[in-house]
Amino acid sequence: MEVVIMPSGTEVGLLAARKITRLVGARPDAVLGLATGSSPLAIYAALAAHVREGTLDTSRVSAFALDEYVGIPADHPESYASVIDREVTVPLHLDPERVQVPDGRATDLEAAGRRYEEAIRAAGGVDLQILGIGANGHVGFNEPTSSFASRTRIKTLTERTRADNARFFASPDEVPTHCLTQGLGTIMDARSLLLVAQGSQKAAAVAAAVEGPVTSMCPASILQHHPHATVMVDEAAAADLQLADYYRWTYAHKPAWQQF
Ligand code: GLP
C-alpha cells in the first residue's frame, strides 16, 4: 500500500480532499464510502471548502456510510445518520437522497445488512472508501477477529471501542453495545481505499496495519491485500512505522503524473 506522512492532521485532510476532488472531477457521479469518528473530519472540512470555492461539484455524487449504532434513535445527535448529515451531507451539499447509512433501527438487522449490500451493488460499487482506524485496528466497526470475508452485519463493540467512543456521549453507559457495519469483504470491494489517522494514540494500530502480519487481530491489516490502498497519516500516527523514512522519500520523489 502507499503510505504518505504529512506534518499535521490538517494537511492529511487537505491532501485527502485533493485526491477525492480529483476523483469527482474525473467521475462526477462517483460513489464515496464515508467513515465517521474524528479521523476524517479534516477531510470533510477541506471538501466543504472546495464546494464553497466552486472547485468541487457534488451534485451527482452518492455516498454510503460504513456503519451505524444499534439501539439509539436516528435523531440522536451521535447516531451515525445524524453525524453523516451534519458533517458531510449538509456541508458538502450532497443530495440527501443519494446518501445512505445502514439501518441500525431495523427490526430485522440481518435483512437490513443484506439490503445495504444490495444498495451498494445497485449503485455500481464504491469508487473510494474513506476509512479511519480504531486504536485496536478496527475499520468500520469490524473489531479484531472479524472475518476477512464478512459483509454488512451486526457486531458487538469491544469495551475498548466503547470506552474510546464514550467522549461523544453524556456517559460511558450510553454508548451502544452493538452496531451494523459493512464487513471487511464489503470494504475490500471498493475500487480504492483511503485510510487516514492522526495522533500518537493511533501509532501502534497504524504500524500493525501497514507493516505487521495480515491477521484478523488487526482488521485493518487486510488493506495489504487491496490493490489500491493509500494510508495518509500525520507524524504522530507515523511514529511506530519502521520504514517511515522510505515512505517520506518515496512521496517526496513521486513523479508529477502520480501526484494527488
Ligand atoms: C469509530 C468508527 C470507525 C472509526 C474509528 C476511529 O468508532 N466506527 O469508522 O474509523 O472508530 O474513530 P476516531 O476517528 O474517532 O478515532
DSSP string for 217-258: TSGGGGGGG-TTEEEEEETTTTTT-TTHHHHHHHHHT--GGG
Q: pLDDT tens across 73-130, in order?
A: 888 999 999 999 999 999 999 999 999 999 999 999 999 999 999 999 999 999 999 9
Q: How many CB atoms lie within 10 A of CB 254?
A: 12
How far is 69 from 178, CA to CA, in rounded Å? 6
Residue 230, C-alpha cell as written in the block = 493509500
Burial classification of residue 242, based on how many CB atoms lie within 10 Å of its CB (0-12 exposed, 13-18 middle, 19 or more buried): exposed
Over range 200-212, report the average pLDDT. Answer: 98
How far is 57 from 23, CA to CA, in rounded Å? 11
How far is 63 from 24, CA to CA, in rounded Å? 12
How far is 200 from 196, CA to CA, in rounded Å? 13
Cβ 35 under 6 angstroms from ligand 1: yes
Pairing of strands 153-156, 178-181: antiparallel
- Please determine, for residue 257, whether its predicted confidence score (pLDDT) is greater than 90: no
Cβ 145 under 6 angstroms from ligand 1: no
- Give the orientation angle of helix 9-26 with respect to helix 41-53, to 10 degrees: 50
DSSP conformational letter for 32: E
For residue 180, list its beta bridge partners.
68, 154
Q: What is the atom index within ligand 1 of the atom nearest the CA of 35?
A: 9
- Please determine, for residue 256, whether its predicted confidence score (pLDDT) is greater than 90: no
Known catalytic residue at 136: yes
Q: Round the average pLDDT of the chain to a whole number and report it.
A: 97
39, 186, 200, best to mutate for ligand 1 pocket (most atoms within 8 Å of CB): 39
Known catalytic residue at 76: no
How far is 181 from 219, CA to CA, in rounded Å? 13
pTM above 0.75, yes or no: yes
Amino acid identity of residue 100, one-letter, is Q
